[in-house]
Amino acid sequence: MMAERLKKNRTRLIVLGILAVLFVSASQGMSTEDWVITVMRGLAVGAITFLVAAGFSLILGLMDVLNLAHGEMFMLGAYIGWTVYVRPDTFVDALTPLLLLAAGLMLMPVLGVWLGQRPLPGKVNQIWPWLGLAAALALLIYALRQWPLAMWNPGVFAESPATFSLAMSQGTMQLPAAAVATGLSPWLLLMLLGLGSTLLAAALVGMRLRGQTAVSAPYLSKSPLILAGGLALAGVFIFALNDGLTAWLYRLNHTALFALAIVVATAVGGLLGGLIESTLIRPLYKRPIYQIMLTLGISFITIELVRAIWGRPEFTMPKPEMFAGTGAGCGREVVSIVERLANQCATIFLFNGRIRTYNEIFIILMGLIVLVGVWLLLQRTRLGMIIRAGVQDSQMVEALGINVRRVFTLVFSLGVALAALGGVLAAPSIGLSNGMGGQFLLLALIALAIGGLTSYPGAAAGAVLVGLLQQFIIKYGQLGINLPFLAEPFKPSPPLVPASTVLFMVIILLLLPNGLFGRDE
């Protein structure tokens, strides 16, 4: 039995063995502190790559959708997290319209039943959703343009995101003046927004009903009504308490604010994912290749939106206080890790190597938490069981009477939420730029190819391998490698870093076409 398993996985074991040997010999040429730093950095890159790769692989496995917009969702998470963290006033201002919009969309199931019971004559039925959609969009755009929103301005340097980031990291952040409504009264705008969102929901429902011939009368559940009412109320309350809430958020310490940023970015990612799946991707399950075009279109649109709102230049996101201390108690003489963590130092010493608490320790920790959390979700819950079964054969699961379509939406939403979480976690360490999405999507693809495309442990292992490889090559680019036939140490130039990970992927795939952990198709 054992021998048979060994024989079956011979190539896999040999590859793993060679990797271990390479790893050990790669670390031989370095001092311990370099080694520790490189390994920690590699693991941190791996953790972020894993967050992108895990969602991508779940979506690919369950629905066979190659979500090329996944990197942009990662980027969006970072930018939304930055907004909540650095400009809470903008966040509070923007929350009300968003909540009203969400409330309107929540009404969709109720409206579906209501409209379904009142069939309109043929022509009207065909045309009104379009008119409704146009009217709703016009109403929403009109109301949103006048909505009082205190915001940065990427075109002016003194008001650009980079300036606000700098002010925050230096502790000179002032509460910007609250935006004043021009034109219509904000309460009237609130009503317009509510009306517009409801009309939008009705128009979207109407579009869906167009194609149906038979009138269905499904069970009318009250919960969407209650939820929508709650959301709308929350929106109105936040609007009424706007100034107080903003002032409170500004007084909050940065660590708590950062926690809020993480929660908001993840939640927005989840909602966005659900919305994209249920409206755009769902009609495309029958023609898979066109999903690529759709997700590419979404990714272009997202990048351009981010450029329009936050500007093209890169900027940083300050680290929360808990990981930013440099003053008293953080000097070279304090060695104890516990003491340094208690003093909220930015760095700790591990085997004499200087490790940054946020960039390495915190990110790796969060990666591990998500790894275990999603693993528990997949292994220990009913939903996880359905997902795992669906990855193997979703038609079979559907045949067993399980609503796979709803699970599709959930998984897409989960995947995008994970990517957004990765984005907001990565932002303080690598900064925010328009290209970060594509960069990490490529890394995640490589990681998945190495680990096995639809395997969850594969995503983790591949991400860690890619992260380590990348960081070791970068380190050797600085140190130089002593190759036997060269007089001077060989220093790989910066472009060789992506090449090395890609080559590594090609070699692994040629040896193991299904990756390290993939199943045979």
Q: For tokens 């004043």, what's the residue?
A: 180
Of the residues 130, 290, 351, 490, which one makes contact with other proteins according to CB under 8 A: 290
Sign (positive or negative) of CA dihedral 189, 195, 201, 203: negative
DSSP 348: E
- How is residue 355 written in tokens? 């490790």
- Gyration radius of the chain's alpha carbons: 26
CA dihedral 246, 251, 253, 257 (to 10 degrees): 0
Region class of 64: left (phi > 0), else alpha (psi between -120 and 50), else beta: left
Binding of residue 498 to other proteins (CB under 8 A): yes
Binding of residue 298 to other proteins (CB under 8 A): yes
Contact (CB, 8 A) for 356 and 344: no
Of the residues 159, 243, 304, 339, which one makes contact with other proteins according to CB under 8 A: 304
- Looking at beta carbons only, is 363 or 505 nearer to other proteins? 505
Shortest distance (Å) from residue 152 CB to other proteins: 19
Q: For tokens 């001077």, what's the residue?
A: 488
Contact track, other proteins, 61-90, x by CB under 8 A: -----x------------------------
Of the residues 284, 334, 341, 368, which one makes contact with other proteins according to CB under 8 A: 284
Binding of residue 503 to other proteins (CB under 8 A): yes
What are the beta bridge partners of residue 98?
none
- Looking at beta carbons only, is 297 or 457 nearer to other proteins? 297
Cα–Cα distances in Å, from 50 out to 279, 419, 422? 27, 9, 8
Binding of residue 334 to other proteins (CB under 8 A): no
Question: Of 229, 230, 302, which Cα lies nearest the Cα of 268?
Answer: 302
Shortest distance (Å) from residue 251 CB to other proteins: 38
- Looking at beta carbons only, is 303 or 317 nearer to other proteins? 303
Residues 6+ apart with CB under 8 A from 482: 29, 489, 490
Binding of residue 140 to other proteins (CB under 8 A): no
Of the residues 202, 262, 445, 459, which one makes contact with other proteins according to CB under 8 A: 445
Q: Total number of residues binding other proteins (CB under 8 A)?
A: 39
CA distance 400 to 404: 10
| Count of CA atoms in the C-beta half-sphere (13 A) of 279 | 15
Binding of residue 301 to other proteins (CB under 8 A): yes
Tell me which residues in 232-271 interact with other proteins (CB under 8 A). none
Contact track, other proteins, 395-434, x by CB under 8 A: ----------------------------------------
Shortest distance (Å) from residue 302 CB to other proteins: 8
Binding of residue 505 to other proteins (CB under 8 A): yes
CA distance 24 to 495: 24
- Looking at beta carbons only, is 429 or 500 nearer to other proteins? 500
Contact (CB, 8 A) for 444 and 53: yes
Residues near other proteins (CB under 8 A) are 66, 280, 283-284, 287, 289-290, 292-294, 296-301, 303-305, 308, 442, 445-446, 449, 453, 493, 495-496, 498-499, 502-503, 505-506, 509-510, 513-514, 521
